[in-house]
Amino acid sequence: MANEAFPALRKANDRIALVDGESSWSYRELKARINRCSAGLLEAREDLREERIAVFAPAGIGYATALHAVWQAGGIAVPLNVAAADAELEHHLANAGATRLIAARDLPPETRRLCGRLGIQPLAIDSLPAEPRRPMPPIEPARRAMILFTSGTSGKPKGAVITHRAIHAQINLLTKAWKWSESDVLPLFLPLHHFHGIINVLNCALWNGACVHAMPRLDIEKLCVQAARGTYTALMAVPTIYVKLIAHIRTLAPADRNAVCAGFGRMRVNISGSAACPAKLFRQWRELTGQVMLERYGTTETGMALSNPYDGDRRAGTVGQALPGVSVQRFDEQDRPIGADATPGEIRIRGDSVMQEYWNNAEATRAGFRNGWFRTGDIAIVEDGYYRILGRSSIDIIKSGGYKLSALEIEGVLLDHEAIGEAAVIGLPDETWGEIVAAIVTLRDGARLDLAGLKQWCDGRMSAYKIPKQLKIMRDLPRNAMGKVVKTALRDLL
C-alpha cells in the first residue's frame, strides 16, 4: 500500500501525528481514518487505477486523511487551493480530468455548482460510510501519485505528475539532509496545493513519526506565542512570512519580544524557501533570533534540489549545494554544460525526485526536458561552490544595452532603502536599450519617494546600467499563494 511505505503510518502507534484546533490525533487514529476513507473511495472496486480525485481541504486531519486515502486506494490526488478563484479551480479540475472531489467540510455553493458543470462528484471525508477492508491494492513505486499545478508565475499553470517513487525519494533525502526525527514538532500554515507544504512539512513529518500543528490560516500572533512556549522544534516558511514575523515582533513589549525571539532561537532550524530570501531579511532574522536561516531551492517539478547545509556555513543570498541523490548542472544557451565558475547558466536537474511529465501536455513535457535533464528556467551562478539564483530566464533576467541583469540582485539593493518596504524589478521593452529596468515598490508608513530621488540614492550602490529608469509605487505587490510576486501581472500593468 502507498502509505505502508511511510514507516510511522506502518507502525501506527499512539504518538501524536497531528494537532488540529483543540483535537489531537495519534498515528493509530490517523491510520484508521485513512483505511476507512480508502474503503469508501474504493466502494466495490479493487483499485482506483489512477482515477484523479481532487482534495479540497485546509490544513488539518481531513486533508491528511484524504490525501493518504487516495494514494492508498490507487488514485492520483489533485490537491487544490481552498482560496482559489473559480476560474483557477475550473482550469485545474478540467485539466486533470478529475472525477470526484473530496472535501473536509461543506463546499461553497459556487464550488458545488462548478462540480456539477464539470460532472464531478463531491464527497465529504467524514460521510464515507465504509469499514476498513483488506487487502488494499498493491501500489508500485512507478505509479502516479499526485498532480501538482505550477504556480503560474511565468505562464498558465501546468500539472506536474509526481510518482510514489519521487515522493519517497524526496522525503528520504530531506530526512537525512535536515535531520528529521520523531521528536520534531512543526507548525503547518503553508498552502497544501504546493510541494513546500505537502512534502517538506506534512509528509516529511508523517514519514518520520513527528507531530504537525495544523494552522488552516496563518496566525502570526499564535505562532509567536507557541514559539515563546517552546512548542516547536523547527520552522519552515516563505520569506514573506518571516517579514510578517519581524514586523509583529517589533510591536511587542520588550519582555514579550525577548521571549518570542528566544523561542525561535531555540529551534533546531529555521528554513526559508519557495521565493528568494533577500540578504537583508537573512540578517534581520539572525539579529533578532540568533537563527542563521537555512535557504534551499526547489521547484514543483523537481522537489528540493539545492540546500544550504544543516551543519556548516549557511550563506545569505545563496541556496547552497546539490542535495545527496540529486544531480544539478548549469547549461548555457547553446545547451553546453558550464563548469564551477561565475558564468550564469540555467539550472537543470536529474534524479528520482523529478516529476514524470506534465499531465496531458506532451508538448510542454518535451520542452521541459533536454537529454534527461529537467530545465528549470532558473539562472544561477556558482560562488565558491554555492549556487546563487539570479532569477528566471524569462522574467528575472533583464537584457539591457548588451548586459544581462539580475532582477533579484537589484531588488536586494533596493530593499536597503529606508523608504522601501517591498520591491519588485522587471524589464520593460525599449527601442534603444532592448529592455529598461523598472522598479515597483511599496513604501513604509509615512515615507515618500520619487524616481529622481531613487536614482540619486542608487548612484554608487549599483552600476549605472542597473539603476531603475522607471518607478511605480503600489500599496501591495500582487502575490500568489506561496508568496511569490506575480511579475507577469506587473508587466501587464506597466
Residue partners of 116: CB distance under 8 A and separation at least 6: none
336 Cβ contact list (under 8 Å, min separation 6) = none
Q: Please provide the DSSP assignment of 116-140 as one string.
A: HHHTPEEEEGGG------SPPPP--
CA–centroid distance for 147 within its chain: 15
How many whole angstroms separate alpha carbon 327 and alpha carbon 320?
Answer: 14
| Span 394-432, pLDDT tens digits | 778 788 876 778 788 898 889 999 999 999 999 998 877
* Phi, psi for 139 (deg, rounded to 5): -115, 110
The highest-level CATH class for domain 395-493 is: alpha beta
Asked whether residue 300 carries a pLDDT value surpassing 60, the answer given is yes
Q: Are 212 and 17 in contact (CB under 8 A)?
A: yes
Give residue 3's pLDDT band: very low, low, confident or very high (50, 70, 90): low
What are the pLDDT digits (tens) for 236-257? 998 889 989 999 999 999 999 9
Q: Please state the domain extents for the chain.
A: 202-391, 395-493
Tens-place pLDDT, residues 125-168: 888 766 766 688 999 999 999 999 986 555 578 999 999 999 99
CA distance linking residue 191 with residue 59, whole number of Å: 8
> Which class in CATH covers the domain with range 202-391?
alpha beta
202-391 with 395-493: one CATH topology? no
Global pTM?
A: 0.85
